[in-house]
A and B are shown apart, each in its own frame.
Chain A
Amino acid sequence: MTLAELAQRALAEGISLGRLAVILESEETGIPLDEIVARVRDMVRVMKSSVSEGLGRVEASMPVRPGVLERARRSRSGLSGGDAAKVAGRIASGRNLPGNFLLAKSVAYALAVSEVNAAMGKIVAAPTAGSCGVIPGTFLALAEVSGAGEEDLVDALSAAGLIGQVIGERVGLSGAQAGCQAECGSAAAMAAAGLVQLAGGSPEDCIHAAAFALKGLMGLVCDPVAGLVEVPCVKRNATSAAVALASAEMALSGVRSRIPPDEVISAMAQVGKMIPPALRETSQGGLAVTPTGLRVSREMANRSSVCMHPMPKRPGNIEYTTLTQIRPHFDDPHR
């Protein structure tokens, strides 16, 4: 289905894009409407707890385990963590750029969720784990300011998902397929559409907001340092949140994309194919091969492994073990 058709159908039936997404999913899979809504609602709740964990807040509903906040602050590689708290701290003391409250909050929350992801915390991949901060960052920041409730967020997330479905079918949603435009770009487009819906815009406004975000991030390459979903991914989630907000603002004002949204997606697909493999999640170009990126990558590879028992060296490259004795090579009786 094209974005134009979807917007038209939603308008004709007098329902939101989010509701249409749920109806179509139910028609397609046979899963009852309520069950789909419940699944999306669970995701909204996980998004809220990811933000809380990333900011180092402990909420009554959160299981408190020793060391959890410590871990929330830093990833296993040590490459990311703690930046969401910096931004949030600055907002709390009222020192954010004057009048920039919503954007600053979105940035803090997007960083928070991405940092939680990097630190092996619980997140919703929306559309992917690498780009998991954009939607919760912008949605929850806006909801805090506007007072939107959980059901509004569920509806907005469903609308975002519908946009993601169209992009996923025609372009793909992974950096390996089409570069970061397919991950953070798609996330920004999905978020933009959802924000418009949260603010009361029409389905038509939603798809144009998505188009603005895709145009803004078109061609964005995927170049993670050391192959890890941290640098530049975490901060790219924050900057993509800003793109989503700008796109929503335009669409809500009645600004229209000169290139129709469906043609924008076609262009994105074409660009994705033209992005060389070195810039599609292989860590062979861009930021990954800067002097610093390469140094980090070497350090990660050389990091001494944890050896819990002294191990004889042998060709299998034992990284570490807790086995008290290494068994002889496992023999498959059928080999």
Chain B
Amino acid sequence: MRLLDVLGPVMIGPSSSHTAGAARLGNIARILLGEPPVQARIILHGSFAATYRGHGTDLALVAGLLGFAPDDERIRDSFAWAAREGLEFSIETGDLGDVHPNTARIELTSRSGKRLSVVGSSVGGGKVEITEISGLPVSLTGEKNTIVAMYPDRPGVVAGITSILAKVGVNIATMRVARSGRGKTAVCVIEVDQDIPEEVVQEVRQLPTIENVIVVRAQ
């Protein structure tokens, strides 16, 4: 365990899992959407559903969707900020099945009509894991710089992405591809050791059939 894991994070209370982690989840969902959301539907599961009022999990998730970091003092006023920024949202409680007790499902729509659903869990100490993007199973913690690419499944796309990364010397730490079926939508999540230069993102975007490329930077 590292010194800077024991000391910190600097965060808005009261709970690293139910408040700080929730803000981070909202944040990653916003980044994955790629545009500011204007509508959000949030479904809280398990311990999130049971204790969200006292822990401000709802406020923190909405704050994250607005792009506020887990130590942003605007978290406790995030509903007012949402009104100001034009984000409509609903908070629901429900059963998301066999998932971590601190799990939320977030469904987002951007102004241009882009839609995305994300399922993520707050796994302790403010750390999170996104387990599903638009119905596809993934694992994304945001602890390393991560590239998320979505595209209609076709041979050669993954090889295309990895060769672009290799060319600029970006080292792949982990990689996972999921698809809803052969030839259907696929998502590729690649965690890397280095920074991801903007030109890499541009180049990946140029690959045939790529629909969307998002970079989630480590925090």
Residues of A whose CB lies within 8 Å of any CB of B are 21-22, 24-25, 28-29, 36, 39-40, 42-43, 46, 63, 71, 75-77, 79, 116-130, 132, 157-158, 160-162, 164-165, 168-169, 173-174, 176, 226-230, 300-301, 303, 316-324, 326-327, 330, 332-335
Contacts and interface: CB of A to CB of B under 8 A. Distances in A.
10 contacts: A39-B4, A75-B14, A77-B54, A124-B9, A129-B19, A169-B1, A319-B58, A323-B88, A333-B180, A335-B180
B94 A317 contact: yes
Contacts of B75: 120
Interface string B16-42: 100110000000000000000001010
Nearest to A68: B73
Given A29-B4, A129-B13, 5 more contacts: A25-B3, A77-B53, A322-B88, A334-B135, A334-B185
Nearest to B90: A321
A174 B7 CA distance: 14
B119 to A, nearest CB: 10
B89 A120 contact: no
A228 B109 CA distance: 32
Interface stretch (B43-51, B159-167, B169-177): B43-51
A334 B4 contact: no
Contacts of B7: 40, 43, 124, 126-127, 157-158, 160-161, 164
Interface in B127-185: 134-136, 180-181, 184-185
Given A36-B3, A327-B41, A322 B51 contact: no
A330 B107 contact: yes
Nearest to B76: A120
B41 A226 contact: no
A237 to B, nearest CB: 12
Contacts, number: 191
Contacts of A317: 92-94
B37 to A, nearest CB: 12
Nearest to A28: B2
A122 B23 CA distance: 13
B169 to A, nearest CB: 18
B14 A120 contact: yes
A17 B19 CA distance: 32
Given A118-B14, A316-B94, A332-B117, A126 B8 contact: yes
Contacts of A130: 14-15
Interface in B68-111: 71, 73, 75-76, 79, 82-83, 88-94, 107, 109
Most chain B beta-carbon neighbours within 10 Å: one of A42, A229, A334? A334
B10 A42 contact: yes
A124 B2 contact: no
Contacts of B73: 63, 121-122
A326 B11 CA distance: 32
A214 B121 CA distance: 32
Which of A121, A125, A173, A333 has most chain B Cβ within 10 Å?
A: A125
B64 interface: no
A330 B10 contact: no
B215 interface: no
A203 to B, nearest CB: 16
B5 interface: yes
B11 A29 contact: no
Contact of A227 (B1, B54, B180): B54
Nearest to A53: B73
A57 to B, nearest CB: 16
Contact of B53 (A118, A303, A322): A303
Contacts of A43: 7-8, 10
A330 B94 CA distance: 14
Nearest to A170: B1
Contacts of A332: 117, 134-135
Nearest to A172: B1
B5 to A, nearest CB: 7
B90 A228 contact: no
B208 interface: no
B11 A321 contact: no
B180 A334 contact: yes
Counting chain A CB atoms within 10 Å of each CB, which of B9, B13, B44, B185 scores highest? Answer: B13
Contacts of B2: 25, 28-29, 165
Nearest to B58: A319
Please list the 8 inter-chain residue pairs (A to B) with the smallest Cβ-Cβ separation, ordered nearest first. A117-B13, A321-B90, A332-B135, A334-B180, A164-B6, A228-B54, A120-B76, A168-B1
A314 to B, nearest CB: 9
A158 B2 CA distance: 11
A128 B59 contact: no
Contacts of B43: 316
Contacts of A40: 7
